[in-house]
Amino acid sequence: MTQSTTRVGGVVLCGGHSTRMGRPKFSLPFGDEFLLQRVCRILSEVVAPIVVVAAADQQLPVLPSEVLIVRDEYDSLGPLAGIATGLNALRDDVDAAFVTSCDAPLLRPQFIQRLIESLGDHDVAAPTDGQYDHVLAAVYRTSQADAARRLLAEERRRPLFLLDESNSLRIHVDELRSVDPKLDSLRNMNTPEDYEEVLRMTGLR
């Protein structure tokens, strides 16, 4: 399948417990919007439709009507479970999806587009620094939902297993600096200090 015929949606994971942050990341204020709203807005500049994967009991901020909210099919099994749920929800509508967590406020549309263009005939296109694969800033074929579910059934819950067992393209982060010089798209927020730093970077503090 070539890039010209690849339909791409988006998956945003927000079912984590935000233990180190101390409060739900998805509802952190970010300017005049909440963090989840910001990430969905950035994604919508590049892909459609967008699916937000939330835990069963999460109360989310108001999102655009075209954003689909699905509840994680698995209870507390980590990001691979969220990836499986999100890809499965989109598989009838698109061929692939850019998958991100809800705590990536500096995500750049050009970064997303570059990864989509890199997918080619691969099942996954993911940034890597040579030691760490950024599995929550990657493009996955929606057909990979089946492989993800199989891994979960085998209790192999790390998203890295999905990359290792798929036809994956690992793109060194240095190749992405032309569209995101400081690799801000890969910056996420795990602690209150991370949150404050990003607010300062964007002039919101």
119-142 residue pLDDT tens: 999 999 999 999 999 999 999 999
Q: What are φ and ψ of residue 82, in 5° steps? A: -65, -40
SS3 call for 163: helix
Q: What is the pLDDT of residue 72?
A: 86
Q: What is the mean pLDDT of the chain?
A: 93
| Percent of the chain residues past pLDDT 70, beyond the cut | 98
Tokens of 148: 């993800």
Encode pLDDT of 176-195 as tens digits.
999 999 999 999 998 999 99
pLDDT tens-digit series, residues 49-90:
999 999 888 899 999 999 999 998 887 789 999 999 999 999
- Give the residue from 12, 44, 30, 39 showing the smallest Cα distance to 185: 39
Q: How far apart are CA 7 and CA 44, in angstroms?
A: 14
CATH 3.90.550.10 fits 3-201, yes or no: yes
| Domain residue spans of the chain | 3-201
The first and second tokens of residue 36, run together, are: 């989840």
Compute CA distances 2 → 25, 36, 124, whole Å.
36, 31, 14
- Report the pLDDT value the prediction gives residue 16, as an integer from 0 to 100: 73
What is the C-alpha separation between 51 and 161, in angstroms, rounded? 23
Q: Are 64 and 53 in contact (CB under 8 A)?
A: no
How far apart are the C-alpha atoms of 95 and 41, rounded to whole Å? 21
Q: How far apart are CA 44 and CA 58, in angstroms?
A: 22
| Confidence tier at 2 by pLDDT (50, 70, 90) | very low
Counting every residue, how long is the chain? 205
